[in-house]
Amino acid sequence: GDVAGAYANANKALALLEWKAEKSIDEGIRDALRWGEIRDKVLDYS
């Protein structure tokens, strides 16, 4: 069956690539929801 849950850990990316996420998960979800609300207006879809 499917995995019940999963999560990402970016520690290896930080260690190997010196990469760090610019936003938290909460910020990313918030921004995605906001984009979903305004996307059609911004892209001028009618």
Would you state the pLDDT for residue 46?
63
Q: Is the pTM of this model over 0.75?
A: no
32 occurs within a structural domain: yes
Tens digits of residue pLDDT in 30-41: 999 999 999 988
33 occurs within a structural domain: yes
37 occurs within a structural domain: yes
Range of the domain at 29: 22-46
Please, which pLDDT band fits residue 11 given cuts at 50, 70 and 90?
very high
Number of domains in the chain: 1
Sign of the Cα pseudo-torsion (28, 32, 33, 34, in order)? positive
Q: In this structure, are residues 20 and 14 in contact, taking their beta carbons and an 8 Å threshold? A: yes
For the chain, state the CA radius of gyration.
16
16 occurs within a structural domain: no
10 occurs within a structural domain: no
C-beta contacts of 29-32 below 8 A and 24+ residues apart: none
27 secondary structure, DSSP code: H
8 occurs within a structural domain: no
17 occurs within a structural domain: no
13 occurs within a structural domain: no
Please, which pLDDT band fits residue 5 given cuts at 50, 70 and 90?
confident
